[in-house]
Amino acid sequence: MGNDRRNRLRALLARHDQEGPGSRLRHICALCVKELEVTGAGTTVLSRVDDDGTQHHRGLVHASNAVSTQLEDLQLVVGEGPCVQAFATGGPILVPDLAATYLRWPAFASAAAELGVAAVFSFPLQVGVARLGSLDLYRDRPGPLTPARLADALILADWATAAVIEQVDGHNTSDISWMADPHVEIHQAVGMVKIQLGVTTEVALLRLRGHAFTAGVPITQVAKQVVTRTLRFVPDNEPT
């Protein structure tokens, strides 16, 4: 029975074998949406920056729709949520009802609810002890994954892992352009603010975050303003 399931999924996936980098993961996400009856699927590749696991470098491999894109980003910006936890612990995190998690992940739950997310299922991309990221599924109405769908999801997460490995291992790894960095402008803005204020990277990032918080806008928007030079940070003053 298990083999039938695997074979069926494999056949569905095999139709796309000849395409370029990252496309296999795109098809795995599409297969998730279709076969598992979820609204969206996304994969993010992560590597830990520090030892307590709160900071990550990330590459967004693929998201099947805009909400998934935002969901992938959200979890890492607020630093909590099923994806972060799945990556930290190495086990799937299943949230059939987001509304029940407000105490657990207050920032994540409210922001995700605003996006229209009602259920989230996160699966780490893992082989051995190497943890590479997560596959995150969401639904716009609450409800669990059935056992059969859960089994399918675990298979698809395995394949997503294999696809990432195949893409990265032994290839020219300076080319990770197939993995978007949604925060390119944040990094650039950090560099600019460092010079504008004469401070360290950490302080520059804090100043950007602080301004975003005060102004009530996302940090990506502040970063864009800095990079397009409509916003400058000046020492000892509010930014002009």
Partner 1 sequence: MTDRPDTANITHRGRENRISRTFVTLADTLSPDFDIAEYLNGLTMRCIDLFDVSVAGVLLLGPDKDQAAVAASAHRAELLEMFEAESGNGPCCDCFRTGTAVQCADLQVQPQRWPAFSTAAHGYGFSAVQALPMRRCDQTVGVLSLFSREPGGATREQVNLAQAFADVATIGILQHRMIEAGDRTNEQLQTALTSRVLIEQAKGVLAERGSLSMRDAFDRLRRYARSHNRRLTDLAAAVADGTMDLDKILG
Residues that bind partner 1 (CB under 8 A): 45, 47-49, 57-59, 126-132, 161-162, 164-165, 168-170, 173-174, 176, 181, 184, 187-196, 200-201, 227
What is the C-alpha to C-alpha distance for residues 32 and 41, in angstroms, rounded to an integer? 7
Non-local CB neighbours of 53 within 8 Å, separated by 6+ positions: 87, 88
- Residue pair 118/111 in contact (Cβ under 8 Å)? The answer is no
**Minimal distance in Å, beta carbon 55 to partner 1?**
11
**Minimal distance in Å, beta carbon 173 to partner 1?**
4
Which residue type is seen at 111?
A
Q: Which is nearer to partner 1, 81 or 133 (CB)?
A: 133
Q: Which is nearer to partner 1, 113 or 151 (CB)?
A: 151
Q: Which is nearer to partner 1, 66 or 127 (CB)?
A: 127
**Minimal distance in Å, beta carbon 16 to partner 1?**
18
- Residue pair 116/70 in contact (Cβ under 8 Å)? The answer is no
Tell which residue, 51, 88, 58, 101, has the closest CA to residue 76.
58
**Minimal distance in Å, beta carbon 35 to partner 1?**
21
**CA 68 to chain CA centroid, nearest Å:** 8
Q: Which is nearer to partner 1, 101 or 134 (CB)?
A: 134
